[in-house]
Chain A
Amino acid sequence: MAERVIIDPVTRIEGHLKVEVEVEGNSVVNAQASGMLFRGLEIIMRGRDPRDAQQIMQRVCGV
C-alpha cells in the first residue's frame, strides 16, 4: 500500500505550490506538483493597448 505525503504550502518560493508524493517501500512511485493560484493576466490583457503588456505581464512574478 502506497503512502501519500502531501506538502501544502511549499514555502520559500514565489506563489502557491502543493506537492503530492506517493511512496511505496522507500521509493517514490508517483509525484505531482500543482500551482494553486490562477489570476488570468492573459484574460485581463485582452482588448488592451499592446503597450500595456509590459506593465501588466511583468507583474506575473515579483521575485
Chain B
Amino acid sequence: MPKKLSRRDFVKICAGSAAAISMSGFLAPYIAQAAEAGAPPVIWIQGASCSGCSVSLLNTVHPDIKDVLLKTISVRYHPTLSAAAGDLAIEEGIFKTVKENPKKFYLVVEGAVPTAADGMFCIVGEREGKPLTFLQMVQELGSQAAAVLNFGTCSAYGGLPATPPNPTGCKAVEDVVKNVPIVNVPGCPPHPDWMVGTIAHVLLYKDIPELDTFKRPKMFFGNIIHDNCQRRQYFDNAIFAKNFGDPGCLLELGCKGPIAHCDSTTRLWNGGVNWCVKAGAPCIACTEPQFPGWPIYERMPEMPIGPAMTATVDQIGGILGAAAVLGVGGHLAGNIMTGRIGPKKDEKEGDN
C-alpha cells in the first residue's frame, strides 16, 4: 500500500518531466488505492469526435493503467469499450448511474456538441423510442455531474468540427452546460499522461486541479512550446528551415509553437520517443482554442509591436488568444528589430 501522496507532490510529479519515469505507472497504485476507498463512478461519452482521444489514452506506456482505468476505477460507460449496447448501455450504463450518484460521478466528454438542427447531427442512442441527441445527453448528464472533464480540443473548445463555416453548429461543452466545474484537457489528441493525471487528481483529491484562464490544468499546460523547444537555439541564431527536413527553426514553415501551451517538449510522446517539432513537423497548436482556424502551414501573422516578452498564461488573462499572439508578436518584433529575422526580400533559396 503506497503512502499518501500530498497534492503538492502530486502536482510536482505530474508537472515534472515524465520522460525518465512513467507517470502513469507511478500513479497506478495510488489510483487503485483511491478506488478501493470508493472512487466516484466515471461516465465517458463521445459526440462529434473521432475516438482519437480514447485511443491516445490507451497509448500509455505503463500497461497496467488500462486495467486501472477500466477495471479498478468505475467506468460505467465508454462507447468504444463498453460491452453493453443499445438500451442496456443507455439505461443501465448511463442513466441508472446518474440517478444513483447525483452530483457524485465524473463526466468525461470527448467530441464537440453539434447544436444546429436541434442537435440532430449527432444522435447517440434512443430513449423511449425517440432519438437522443448528444446535445440533450451532455446537458442532462453535465448538469448532474460532480465535474465535467473535457478530453480533447473538440469538447474543450469546439475544435475541428467547429472550424468555420462550422456546418453543424458545433460548440464546446462549456457553452451548453452551465453551473458545473469544468476541466479542459485539450490536444488533438491529448497526451495520455494529461488525461491520466487529470482523472487521478479528481479521484484522489475529489477536486479539480488548478486551472489556467482556459480551464486547462496548469501542471500540464503552464509552459509555451517555444520556450523549451529543442529547436529554440536555431530561432535565437536566426536559422530558419525553408523546406521540410532542413535543420532550423520551423517558424517559416508554419510552426505555432510560440502560442501553444503544453509540455510535449519535455514529456515527449509514444513512451518518450519523440514529439512533433523534434520530428520535423511544425507545431499546429492543437491545445489552443483557435485550433485549427488558421492556415496550418503558413507563418504566424506578424502582430503589432507589444512589450517584448514571452507571454505566460497568467500574464495574458482576459482575451487570452489575442493577447498571446500579441505577446509573441512583440517577441517576434523584437527579433525583427535586432535583425534575427530578416525581411522576406532578403531571403534567398537556401541562405540558412
CB of B58, distance to nearest CB on chain A (Å): 10
Say yes or no for A1: interface residue by CB 8 A criterion.
no
Determine the chain B residues whose CB is within 8 A of the CB of A61 once the complex forms: 50-52
> Known contacts being A40-B168, A43-B167, A59-B160, is A48 close to B295, with CB within 8 Å?
yes
Say yes or no for A24: interface residue by CB 8 A criterion.
no
Do A39 and B52 touch across chains, with their CB atoms under 8 A apart?
no
Say yes or no for B84: interface residue by CB 8 A criterion.
yes
Do B51 and A62 touch across chains, with their CB atoms under 8 A apart?
yes
Determine the chain A residues whose CB is within 8 A of the CB of B163 once the complex forms: 44, 56
Interface size on A, residues (CB 8 A): 32
Say yes or no for B81: interface residue by CB 8 A criterion.
yes
CB of B22, distance to nearest CB on chain A (Å): 23
A38 to B189 alpha-carbon distance, docked (Å): 20
Say yes or no for B156: interface residue by CB 8 A criterion.
no
> Known contacts being A52-B296, A52-B297, A61-B51, is A12 close to B124, with CB within 8 Å?
no
A44 to B160 alpha-carbon distance, docked (Å): 9
Determine the chain B residues whose CB is within 8 A of the CB of A52 once the complex forms: 292, 295-297
CB of A43, distance to nearest CB on chain B (Å): 4
In chain B, residues 11-67, which have Cβ atoms closer than 8 Å to a Cβ of chain A? 46-56
List the B residue with the shortest CB-CB distance to A47. B165
Prevailing SS type, chain B contact patch: loop
Do B189 and A62 touch across chains, with their CB atoms under 8 A apart?
yes
Max count, chain A CB within 10 A of own CB: residue among B81, B122, B188? B122
Contact of A62 among B48, B55, B122 (CB under 8 A): B55
Interface size on B, residues (CB 8 A): 45
Do B85 and A10 touch across chains, with their CB atoms under 8 A apart?
yes
A9 to B85 alpha-carbon distance, docked (Å): 6
CB of A18, distance to nearest CB on chain B (Å): 7
Determine the chain A residues whose CB is within 8 A of the CB of B121 once the complex forms: 37-39
A49 to B81 alpha-carbon distance, docked (Å): 36
Max count, chain B CB within 10 A of own CB: residue among A11, A12, A40, A55? A11
List the B residue with the shortest CB-CB distance to A42. B167
Say yes or no for B1: interface residue by CB 8 A criterion.
no
Say yes or no for B327: interface residue by CB 8 A criterion.
no
Do A39 and B168 touch across chains, with their CB atoms under 8 A apart?
yes
Determine the chain B residues whose CB is within 8 A of the CB of A41 once the complex forms: 160-161
List the A residue with the shortest CB-CB distance to B79. A11
A49 to B49 alpha-carbon distance, docked (Å): 23
Taken residue by residue from 151 to 184, chain B's Cβ proximity to chain A (1 for < 8 Å, 0 otherwise) reads as 0000000001101111110100000000000000
Do A8 and B126 touch across chains, with their CB atoms under 8 A apart?
yes
Do B125 and A59 touch across chains, with their CB atoms under 8 A apart?
no
Determine the chain A residues whose CB is within 8 A of the CB of B189 once the complex forms: 62
CB of A34, distance to nearest CB on chain B (Å): 9
Say yes or no for B230: interface residue by CB 8 A criterion.
no
Binding site for B on A (CB under 8 A): 6-16, 18, 36-41, 43-44, 46, 48-49, 51-52, 55-56, 59-63
